[in-house]
Amino acid sequence: VKIVGKEHFSSSSLFGASLYLSIFFSTVYLTILLSESRFDMSVPAWSIVMMGLMLVVIFLEIILPNVDYQGLGAQSEKTDVFYLVLIGGIYHKLVILLFGFIFIDLTVYLSTYYGIDNTWVHGWPVITQALIMLLVSDFARYWVHRAAHQNRFLWRFHAVHHSSEKLGWLATMRFHPVEKFYFMVPEMIPFIILGVGEEVLAVYFVMNGTNAMLQHANIRMNLGVLNWVFNLQEYHLWHHSKKIDESNSNYGINFIIWDIVFGTRFLPADREVSEIGLVDTDYPKKFLHQMIKPFK
Ligand SMILES: [Zn+2]
């Protein structure tokens, strides 16, 4: 991977960290603003914010590219459009609705009945609640992600995500639906049982979605000291390396904290990632073929 214009102003970590924090808090703030407006629309609020973010990210990929892929959208593949519409757009929302919003009344009732909901910090600010949820769910998903790389059966599904040979915002959507589903189990169930509110869930999804997109986007954004907290693109390029000893690292979804704790943080300062993708050069490239591949 050839990184462009290292001496460019956007290489400064002060610039990168400020850009990241302003994007992160703008999406969070907008979601809260929309959810608290006269319309009760906390569900579509995060969808609207995520669509807006998508446009911002596309714009930033054009003006601040990290890798020069030559040409607008050259890093994206046709396959990813199917993932964007079918997996990111429709399937993901349905699974969230299923987990988060359909069972919510039932679980609120059950958790109130058994007094479990008293353990959650309902009175704290929404942002704080969502950040706690993010950190805890990252712990669970750290282990699911790590298992997806080390267990042969789980890897079959996760390989789909690693089949991108260039990283850009669209690569965020490339997930097998089976994998997307089991990642949601540790992510949602504990919080539904604890009775986390809808607005907190909405802010959580926006935080998570913003980080996921910035992790894959082809934007020059060096985080500097924030790299000790967040696991974004600088780490994620290594996670997508073709070399297995390099890619078996940086498993955190939003934070790098669990990788530091469990010894899987990897960020060499002396070189760049050489190649992105899978070792298997015959891996199918078409959407439907990739859907079937894990079952073969
Ligand atoms: Zn992975």
Q: What is the DSSP string of 244-289?
A: HHHHS----SSBSHHHHHHT-----SS-----BS-S-TT---SHHH
Tokens 């704290």: give the residue: 124
Tokens of 212: 């996921």
Determine the pLDDT at residue 46. Answer: 80
pLDDT digits (tens, 9 = 90+) for 192-231: 778 788 888 889 989 999 999 999 999 999 999 999 999 9
CA 168 to chain centroid, in Å, comes to 13
Q: What's the gap in Å between 122 CA and the centre of ligand 1? A: 33
Q: What's the gap in Å between 132 CA and the centre of ligand 1? A: 23
Q: What's the gap in Å between 158 CA and the centre of ligand 1? A: 7
pTM score: 0.89
Terminal-residue alpha carbon distance, the chain: 31
Q: What's the gap in Å between 140 CA and the centre of ligand 1? A: 14
* CB count in 10 Å sphere of residue 30: 17
CA distance 259 to 6: 27
- Single out the residue of 95, 93, 275 nearest to residue 183, CA to CA: 95
CA distance 238 to 256: 13
Determine the pLDDT at residue 118. Answer: 65
Q: What are the Cα distances from residue 145, in Å, to 4, 73, 136, 138, 249?
A: 30, 28, 14, 10, 10
Q: What's the gap in Å between 217 CA and the centre of ligand 1? A: 16
Q: Is a pLDDT exceeding 70 seen at residue 5?
A: no
The residue-averaged pLDDT of 124-143 equals 94
CA 175 to chain centroid, in Å, comes to 11
The residue-averaged pLDDT of 180-189 equals 84
